[in-house]
Amino acid sequence: MDLTGPAVAGVALFAATAYGLVHRRRAGTVRAVPAASDTHAPLLAELGVQPGAVTLLQFSSAFCAPCRATRVILAEVARATPGVAHVEVDAESRLDAVRALDIWKTPTVLIVDGEGRIAGRAQGTPTRAQVLAAIDPLLPAEPVQAERKSA
C-alpha cells in the first residue's frame, strides 16, 4: 500500500494550518517603523495628516469588510483621545500614495507622529488596545503623570 498521497496531504494540511495560525496572530499587530523619517511628509500632508496631532492614517477599499471594523475602532480612539486624528484614504483612488508608502493590503493603518513621521504600521484590523499602546508614547505626557513618574 502506497502512503505517499496521504503523507503529502498531511504535510500540506500541517503547513496550511501553521500559516493560518501565524497569519491570524500577526493580523492587526502594530509594528514600530525603525528610524521614523519625514521623507513622506509632503505626501502625508496631502493625504490630510495635520502637523501637531498623532494621526491614524487608514488605507481602505470599497469592498473591504475589515476596513469598516477598523474605521469604527480608529474613529472611537480619535474621538476619545485628545491630540489624535483619524484620516481614511481610499486606496483605489490614491495609487500613488499606496505605492510610495508600500501599502500591500487593506486595511493598513499608518501611525503618524505629531511631526509628520511614520512611527508605526498595522496590516489588518488592530484592536483598540493595540492602537492605544502604539499611540501612547507619541502623546505628550500630562503634567500629573509626569509628576508621578518623577516622584
Indicate the SS3 state at residue 82: coil
For residue 82, give the nearest of 22, 146, 142 by alpha carbon. Answer: 142
Against a cut of 0.85, is the pTM above it? no
Domains of the chain: 30-150 (3.40.30.10)
Distance CA 131, CA 55 (A): 11
For residue 151, the model assigns a pLDDT of 47
Tens digit of pLDDT for each residue in 2-23? 878 777 777 777 667 766 666 5
Average the pLDDT over each of 38-47, 76-85, 140-149 and give the range with the smallest value: 140-149
Distance CA 119, CA 117 (A): 6
Tens digit of pLDDT for each residue in 99-136? 999 999 999 999 999 999 999 999 999 999 999 999 99
